[in-house]
Amino acid sequence: MKNRVVGFVSIAIVIGGVVWFAARHQSSAPSTSPTAQGHVALNAPAPAASFINLQGTTVKLSSFKGKKVLFWFISTWCSSCSEGARVLAQNESTLGNLTIIPVETYHNDGYPGPSINSFIQTSAPATLTNPQWVWGRVTASTTSSIYNPDHYADIYYLIDAQGVVRAISGSPAATTATIRAFANS
């Protein structure tokens, strides 16, 4: 019984944290100053970023200009990341031509976890053959310091076709409606 109570309390804390984070960071108000995430500002051009894809090639975020993008930092040990991948994969038919770019945070935010390949196989294996998904093995430390200086396990950026950041949030499983609205706007 005690383990069940501890489990429920843990779940409540995680959900409360996700709701707080989403409410604090999801905004459409114009901004010209950096947000709490560091050098990323809402309604401003997305800073330069790069990551290594699963094939070992360095990919620049700027190569997706002209497409709507969900640029998502994950940790492979993160349960909300796993759930987010699963939910996005289940809802991909409602996400238009949104390009989903989940990338493992630099050094997995300092915690051990499964490999990115194991994470994908467990969470959303069908995404490996979907051209709308571009998985990243690891982000460069400079990319992480710009997009995720606070080392959130689960944070994403919605970037429009012009390369402008339109939303900053976390937990795609809890914010799928926001992602869908952006993808279909």
Q: Which CATH number fits the domain that encloses residue 102?
A: 3.40.30.10
Express each pLDDT in 126-171 by its tens digit: 999 999 999 998 777 788 888 988 888 999 999 999 999 999 999 9
Structure token pair of residue 89: 């994969």
Measured over the CA atoms of residue 84, residue 171, residue 173 and residue 143, the dihedral's sign is negative
What mean pLDDT is predicted for residues 29-41? 49
The yes-or-no verdict on residue 31 having pLDDT over 60 is: no
| Residue ranges making up the domain that contains 139 | 2-183
- Read off the pLDDT band of 48 (50, 70, 90): very high
Instruction: Tell me what pLDDT residue 47 has.
Output: 94
- In eight-state DSSP terms, residue 164 is B
pLDDT at 14: 40
pLDDT of residue 56: 92
pTM, rounded to two decimals:
0.78
Residue range 50-104, pLDDT digits in tens: 999 999 999 999 999 999 999 999 999 999 999 999 999 999 999 999 999 999 9
**Closest CA relative to residue 117, chosen from 102, 132, 95:** 102
Contacts of 173 (CB under 8 A, 6+ apart): 80, 83, 84, 86, 87, 88
Domain count, the chain: 1
- Per-residue pLDDT tens digits for 1-22: 444 443 433 343 344 444 334 4
